[in-house]
Amino acid sequence: MKKVLFFASDYKIGLSTLLTDEALAFYHAGIDFVTVAGDSEQEEGLSDKINELVSVYRIDNLDEHHNFKSLAKDIAQIAKSNGTNVFHVQNNWQLALSVYIKYVLLHNLNIKIVYTLHGFRHNHPLKSIIARILIGGLLFFFADQIICMSSYLKRKFALLSYKIVLIPLGIPDSFFTEKHEIDEGNGLQMVFPAQFRYGKNQNMIIRAFAKYIKKTGDTSSCLILPGSGDLQKEMISLAQSLGISRHTLFPGQCSKDKIRQYYLQCNIGIVASNCETFGQSIVEPFVLGRCVVTTPVGIAPDILKDGEGGLFFRNEDELTKIFERLHTSPSFITQCGKHNFERREQFRWASIAKLYKNMLSDL
């Protein structure tokens, strides 16, 4: 029988929102596991949320990348006292700790290591190549199972495909509204929540939107860009210089519930990233029954076809033409939204937990 030690925190984040939801889904699915996490939390209230149902071992400085041997001893004791035979890790630091515990502290070769591949410096071409080589080598030698969240990510590590299982991430239940409601008569109401950093390409959206506004004279459409980051001020200045400030909103860093509210106000989710390993900003509007306009990254090619559920673009000119097309086809926006709404169940955490249980049974 598999007994999992699940790492629910990440580097400089602590207990994460995403991993808290995942752990709670495992609990409701009847998976046998214990949870370890650092001493901090990504959002206020996460500890209370998870502690209602799941016992979490909090380990000081787990996510700070120092005191390696001391941390390993603490985790080894937790694993030993709970009869753990599977370690599920989220990053290379946790992988190193688990390998050390397996081979040096516990001398237990029956322990299996599962690694969820969240990223590999994927927005930086040169760094991503180096990261893929280094991470791929570690996973070849030490991981028994690798979880990839999209076919795109699996292809990036094709040499390890025999170890890879495709399991997407889940979306909070609050995103699963009972009815599909969308406003056809209010122009293009678009939202792209993302950090303002290299590779997210908010500048491409702003420029394409400005060209569209200038050409059509549209006065009702709006672009919402939640998030924070080094490039935020530059993007605000760009919108001002192109004369579309009254059509753009920069609300800053937002809670997940606030993001959900923005999606419900809009009819289009838009993503311009160079690369995504999954793409929550693709799946969230998909689940809420919004038209998705995106670069062909992350999970998008797995769940969308061009013209079914949304549209793909690769550059600014293609995006401008999409805006013009949608401007004259509000019924198409609604059609795409309904298409996505009918296929949303695959992203419930309960569905994800079933896939995880199947993975464990085959491990």
Reported as a single tens digit per residue, the pLDDT across 32-41 is 999 999 999 9
Q: Is 159 exposed, middle or buried (0-12, 13-18, 19+ CB in 10 A)?
A: exposed
Residue 168 carries which DSSP code?
P
Q: What is the DSSP string of 228-256?
A: -STTHHHHHHHHHHTT-GGGEE---S--H
Distance CA(270)–CA(262), nearest Å, equals 12
Distance CA(311)–CA(300), nearest Å, equals 10
Instruction: Provide the pLDDT confidence category of residue 121 given band limits of 50, 70 and 90.
Output: low
Q: Is 67 exposed, middle or buried (0-12, 13-18, 19+ CB in 10 A)?
A: middle
Reported as a single tens digit per residue, the pLDDT across 10-69 is 988 899 999 999 999 999 999 999 999 999 999 889 999 999 899 899 999 999 888 999
Rg of the chain in Å (alpha carbons):
22
Reported as a single tens digit per residue, the pLDDT across 231-265 is 999 999 999 999 999 999 999 999 889 999 999 99
Per-residue confidence (pLDDT) for residue 218, from 0 to 100: 94
pTM: 0.91
